[in-house]
Amino acid sequence: MATVVAPAPPQSPARKLTKPWRDGDQITHLVTLIFAGSVFLVTVFLVYELWIHSGPSRAKFGFGFITGRVWDPVSQQFGALPFIYGTVLTSILALVISVPLGVGAAIFLSELAPPRLSNACTFLVELLAAVPSVIFGLLAIFTLVPLLRSYVEPFLKDTLGYLPLFQGPAYGVGYLAAGLILAVMTFPFIISISREALMAVPREQREAALALGATKWESTWQVVVPFARLGILGSIFLALARALGETMAVTMVIGNDTGIHTSLLSPGYTIAAIIANEFTEATGDVYLSSLVELGLVLFALTMVLNAAAQLLIIVTTGKGSKQN
């Protein structure tokens, strides 16, 4: 039955003009747009400020800044390579440890554990993500570092000391300590997201494999995990992005040395750590702008990684049950 709409009463011109504003919708639209837009503006402004304040060092060093190996405030020579190296090295070390452990735990939690245990453990692991970085640093200084110095590093030197990776004095602090604490900090991301990805794999896939005679492990490793690989990869990217930008825990255990060293036992530096240590006291324009430029480099690195991770996660959840 056709609905009958009563004709609207004739409106005066003034009333017509003010109608949108009286409704309040336009105002709300504007107000919320302003707030939302401020997020956009602030972020753009942030990049702008980083760009401007790194001007002197960009002018002086150009692209050579990224490949420069020397960080010498006395001669005003600044290069980012030792810090990029330290950042990447500690992050990769962290992933080498946390990915096998994390994916292993995710597999257990999604495939083997009874649901209540799985949920309880995931809850606990996700709480780990909430622990502030400085507390990890506090723990690392007083527990991890002495452990490394007195037991782990001498052991590594004795057994694997012929590799350049494990040479040099056992300080306790250094790349290894930073990598380990970063590994702990990235567990929650890998476990939580990988578990979600694994649980999203349709039952039919598992059942099909088992019906064909595969053991539970074979079904998991050869069917389920590959199916969820994009999500797992996304979690790794996110974990990597977190590790790259991590400041406090790393600053407290990296040893603060501005050189490039091959040994994992040696002290080093990351971008975030040197900014934290030297920012308030960098005297001179080039020095300060070099630190800001380091911040810009780090920002660019994490930006690229976050984009890659987002893409992967979107693709995974979008793909759903499409294979390959």
Site for another protein in 137-156 (CB under 8 A): 137-139, 141-143, 145-146, 149
**Do residues 243 and 136 make contact, with C-beta atoms less than 8 angstroms apart?**
no
Instruction: Give yes or no for residue 256 binding another protein (CB under 8 A).
Output: yes
Instruction: Give yes or no for residue 53 binding another protein (CB under 8 A).
Output: yes
Quickly tell me which residue has 């002018």 as its tokens.
59
Tell which phi-psi region holds residue 255, choosing left (phi > 0), alpha (psi between -120 and 50) or beta.
left
By C-beta, is 140 or 233 nearer to another protein? 140
Sign of CA dihedral 194, 200, 201, 204: positive
| 254, two tokens | 């990296």
Gap between the terminal Cα atoms of the chain? 51
| Positions in 286-315 near another protein (CB under 8 A) | 288, 291-292, 295, 298-299, 302-303, 305-306, 310
| Positions in 183-222 near another protein (CB under 8 A) | 184, 187, 191, 215-218, 221
CB neighbours of residue 220 within 10 Å: 20
φ, ψ for residue 69, nearest 5 deg:
-105, -10
| Positions in 219-248 near another protein (CB under 8 A) | 221, 241, 244-248
3-state secondary structure 98-122: HHHHHHHHHHHHHHHCCHHHHHHHH
Minimum CB separation of residue 76 from another protein in Å reads 10
CA atoms within 13 A on the CB side of 76: 11
Q: How many residues contact another protein, by CB under 8 A? A: 108
| Sole binder of another protein in the list 11, 21, 24, 66 (CB under 8 A) | 24
Quote the Cα angle for 51-248-166, to 5°. Answer: 105
Q: Within the chain, what is the greatest distance between any pair of CA atoms? A: 94
| Sole binder of another protein in the list 39, 63, 114, 318 (CB under 8 A) | 39
| Positions in 96-115 near another protein (CB under 8 A) | 100-105, 107-109, 111-113
Instruction: Give yes or no for residue 19 binding another protein (CB under 8 A).
Output: no
Q: Which helix (H) or strand (E) holds 209?
A: helix 203-211
Beta bridge partners, 77, equal 72
Instruction: Give yes or no for residue 81 binding another protein (CB under 8 A).
Output: no
Instruction: Give yes or no for residue 164 binding another protein (CB under 8 A).
Output: no
Stretch of residues binding another protein (CB under 8 A), selected from 41-49, 56-64, 153-161, 204-212: 41-49
| Positions in 60-79 near another protein (CB under 8 A) | 70-75
Instruction: Give yes or no for residue 281 binding another protein (CB under 8 A).
Output: yes
By C-beta, is 38 or 321 nearer to another protein? 38
Stretch of residues binding another protein (CB under 8 A), selected from 159-167, 200-208, 253-261, 313-321: 253-261
By C-beta, is 281 or 322 nearer to another protein? 281
